[in-house]
Structure 1
Amino acid sequence: MVVWERPEPPDRPAPAPLSRERIVRAAIELADADGLDAVSLRKVAAALDVGPMRLYGYIATKEELLDLMVDAVHAEIRPTGQGWREVLGSFAEATRQVAHRHEWLADLLGGRPQLGPNTLVTGESVLAAMGDVDLGVVVPAVGAVTAYVIGAVRREITERRAERASGLNQEQWQTTYGPYLTRTFATGRFPALARMVHDGPHLDADETFRTGLDFVLDGIEARLSR
């Protein structure tokens, strides 16, 4: 029986009240503060001031705990809008914002299918927005948006982590590596890259995400209009 269907043990008020929801909330707080490496059944139990063995009545493995954590934060992803384009765009933006609030989510997106109740609600709303469009178009279209979001979010989170690790913000990074690129481009070996750096658009993270998303949605719209 999967974890979402498995009954919880009877409530025991002593030494501390416990529930699957409390366990998942404590795990999310640990992950938000220090990443997934900070999440283990032992550490969650310590945060709840209970013995680790008490958790096993609610969760059998760490993998189940991670599944529950992912599903819990999917409650924050509720696409809105009229029509498929607005709903898919809202889904993309909401997923990105949730990943920014819970950076660890970027490490778990795109793995095995998530089948928790909150995740299913999100998927239902996205698919329902596609209306009566043929499933041969709907499935790859939604898959394309999902793949774009996962890739974009992972890149952003990776860049944020790298910035924290190096201690260099974007301006400092440019100051450090700018002279090297100037010397390299002066050789004439990389004219396309040089043109991009010198003349290309310099978008911030929000603009980059939304521009890329528009390219994906434009492609879906063009396919639907055939």
Structure 2
Amino acid sequence: MTTQPTRTIVSRRARPAKDPLSRELIVATALELLQKEGSAGLSMRKIAKALDTGPSSLYVYVANMQELSSYVLDLGLAGIALPASDAGSWQTRLFDALSSYLLALYDAPGVAELALTTVSVGPHALAFTEYLLQCLHEGGVSSLSAAWGVDLLMLYATSVAFEQSSRDARGTTIQTHLAAMAALDPQQYPRIASSHADLISGSVDGMERFRWGLDVILQGIMKKEG
């Protein structure tokens, strides 16, 4: 006679209670997946799986992926530090705010990529945009130039963050670029050969190159005002 294996039935009541589903929990989970897996992690299916629920249940709290992406981006910008109104000149405060934005994106891989394709109107994104506009207003920049200028400044900072975080994710280092540049034929690429170190100088940590770029953009904005 064959003995049937004993099956242990686990009551649902014995399982740890799940946190009640909410928009805040969905957004926080989506951000965690984005940071771990990049843009590939930002899908309704993966978010639902992480929350032990079905994708359809998420749509009770967010209308679509576009809306969810906006919320996720805003949460990713929560770490931006906006300088106090008396912390230096308007230009210094503008650059410090943009530097904090750069580091917030750089410290959260995936968020920089999302920032290139998503517009957020959440509280953190709005506070940041308002701050930049106020700085430019203090500098005497007109409303139109400030609006277009903020867009350009943020696009520059976002692209720098995305470039750097993408390189880190792939394990590409400055030494790799230096070696590639040094191996070029100086007869064919004389200008590159003579300035290859300068072409890749600067870093996110040092901020020199980044701030130089901000200054170039700001000078262009101010020149349009003149």
User: Which range, TM-score by smaller chain?
Assistant: 0.7 to 0.9
The aligned residue for residue 11 of structure 2 is none
Q: Indicate conservation of the 8 Å contact 1:87/1:129, yes or no.
A: yes
Distance (Å, rounded) in 1 between the aligned partners of 2:218 and 2:51? 44
Q: What is the one-letter code of the residue matched to 1:86?
A: T
Higher mean Cα deviation, 19-28 or 195-204? 195-204
Distance (Å, rounded) in 1 between the aligned partners of 2:203 and 2:76? 26
The aligned residue for residue 79 of structure 2 is 76
Shift of 1:120: 1.5
> Any residues of structure 2 matched to 1:1-226 within 5 Å, and which?
16-80=19-83, 81-111=87-117, 113-131=119-137, 133=140, 134-163=142-171, 169-172=173-176, 174-175=178-179, 177=180, 180-181=183-184, 184-185=185-186, 188-197=187-196, 202-205=201-204, 206=206, 207-221=208-222, 226=226
Unmatched tracts of structure 1, length 5 or more? 1-13
Shift of the 56–213 alpha-carbon distance from structure 1 to 2, 3 Å rule, reads same
Shift of the 198–122 alpha-carbon distance from structure 1 to 2, 3 Å rule, reads closer
Q: Indicate conservation of the 8 Å contact 2:137/2:146, yes or no.
A: no
Distance (Å, rounded) in 2 between the aligned partners of 1:200 and 1:56? 47
Distance (Å, rounded) in 1 between the aligned partners of 2:152 and 2:198? 29
Unmatched tracts of structure 2, length 5 or more? 1-16
TM-score, reference length from structure 1: 0.75
Shift of 1:127: 1.2
Q: RMSD in angstroms over aligned alpha carbons?
A: 2.7
Q: What is the one-letter code of the residue matched to 2:101?
A: T
Task: Tell me how many residue pairs correspond in the alignment.
Answer: 203
Distance (Å, rounded) in 2 between the aligned partners of 1:143 and 1:169? 29
String of CA shifts for 1:12-70, please: whole Å, max 9, x gaps: xx764121111110111111111121222222222223333322211122222111101
TM-score, reference length from structure 2: 0.75
Q: Which of structures 1 and 2 has the bigger CA Rg?
A: 2
String of CA shifts for 1:68-111, please: whole Å, max 9, x gaps: 10111222224224443123212211111111121212212233
Percent identical: 27
Q: Indicate conservation of the 8 Å contact 2:81/2:97, yes or no.
A: yes
Shift of 1:122: 1.6
Higher mean Cα deviation, 18-27 or 39-48? 39-48
Distance (Å, rounded) in 2 between the aligned partners of 1:201 and 1:31? 28
Shift of the 147–44 alpha-carbon distance from structure 1 to 2, 3 Å rule, reads closer
Q: Indicate conservation of the 8 Å contact 2:77/2:124, yes or no.
A: yes
Shift of 1:221: 4.9
Q: Indicate conservation of the 8 Å contact 1:45/1:51, yes or no.
A: yes
